[in-house]
Chain A
Amino acid sequence: MNDTLVSLALLYGQLSLVAFGGGNTILPEMHRQVVDVHHWMSGADFAALYALAQAAPGPNMMVVPLIGWHVAGWPGMVVSTLAVFGPSSVLTIIALGLWSRFKNQAWRAAIQNGLIPISVGLIAASAYVITRTVDREWIFAAITLAAAAVASRLKLHPLWLLAAGALIGWTGFGQ
């Protein structure tokens, strides 16, 4: 149990400091560690927890406390939450003090622009990893593609798409 908590703290402490572009960029590494390295849960469970976190309100990193709780109960939840939000928050506090000094430096814009392709690549990787995990039947691939198409074209609230996906799944159609 303690080993698990230490592993969770190390995993999320690291991810906290490299999550440039937010929670979705660290999803593949979370998946790799949680499913492939530590075997804490199956890929299907991981995808389900991710989907649950998307269906809940709030910031898009809520999958982290949920995974911590699923792996190691309440202590896992607390440790994961502290580890994923702590280091980046401390960095934010430090950076706020230095920020005004570097505001107009050219290298600041270069760092910001240089990190953009990296976050794009990481989010694309997240989409690939999650899609591969969930789309084991044609019906799920169809739901994924339809949700992606609708979300790209219409300004529909994401919750409607999640609800529609859940409903189609619930009927068992095509499974």
Chain B
Amino acid sequence: MAPTTIEIFRGFLLLGLSGFGGVLPLARHMVVEERKWLTADEFVELLGLCQFLPGGNIINLSVAIGLKFRGIPGALAAILGLIAAPTAIVLALGAIYVRFQSHPQVVHLFAGLAAAAAGLLLSLAIRIALPLWRRPLAVPFAAACFLAIAIFHLPLVPTMLVLAPLSIAATMKIGA
């Protein structure tokens, strides 16, 4: 059954509220199992497209699902629903941070929070880097990209315009 624009908005609003630290598994649960908007195969195919495009996967996925059922209004309803609650929460936390910024204890609290967040990012980097060792060609490109951005502080857009086509060409040539 095709959902209405309101149903799309409501579905993604709940999703935005519930997805702590990873919305994707929850999105699959809602879209495929709970509301049956898409079959499992349709979901994987749409997700494949969304991963191929720039932007957050889940953001693109919400746009794609909204568009599929209700055109542009559906796409707008989906993305607005998805980001509405997280934006409000993030701004509320930001307001607290700004208000109590000068409190030494609050500074300590946020420093500890930031250190833990850095740890989560580090573990993500390790997890996605490990499978690369099976593709010898991929390692130099990942390393070059890391050096350019992290060590030499080169701007992102020119770096990507050079490295991405080279990496794609190499992948095409070797077929790996």
Contact = CB atoms under 8 A, between A and B. Distances in A.
B70 to A, nearest CB: 13
A2 B67 CA distance: 33
A116 to B, nearest CB: 7
A50 B120 CA distance: 12
Contacts of A122: 145-146, 149, 156
Contact of A58 (B19, B91, B170): B19
Contacts, number: 348
Nearest to A135: B115
A81 B58 CA distance: 15
A158 B120 contact: yes
A152 B123 contact: yes
A145 B17 CA distance: 29
Interface residues of B, number: 89
Given A47-B114, A161-B120, 16 more contacts: A19-B56, A59-B19, A95-B53, A121-B141, A122-B145, A124-B146, A125-B146, A131-B121, A134-B118, A145-B119, A147-B122, A149-B123, A151-B119, A165-B115, A169-B111, A171-B108
Tell me the dominant secondary structure on chain A's binding face: helix
Interface residues of A, number: 103
Nearest to A47: B114
Interface of A: 14-20, 22-24, 26, 28-29, 32, 36, 44, 47-63, 65-66, 69-70, 77, 81, 85, 88-89, 91-93, 95-96, 99, 107-108, 110-131, 133-135, 139-141, 143-152, 157-159, 161-162, 164-172, 175
A124 B163 CA distance: 16
A105 to B, nearest CB: 12
Given A113-B171, A124-B125, A151-B123, A175 B97 contact: no
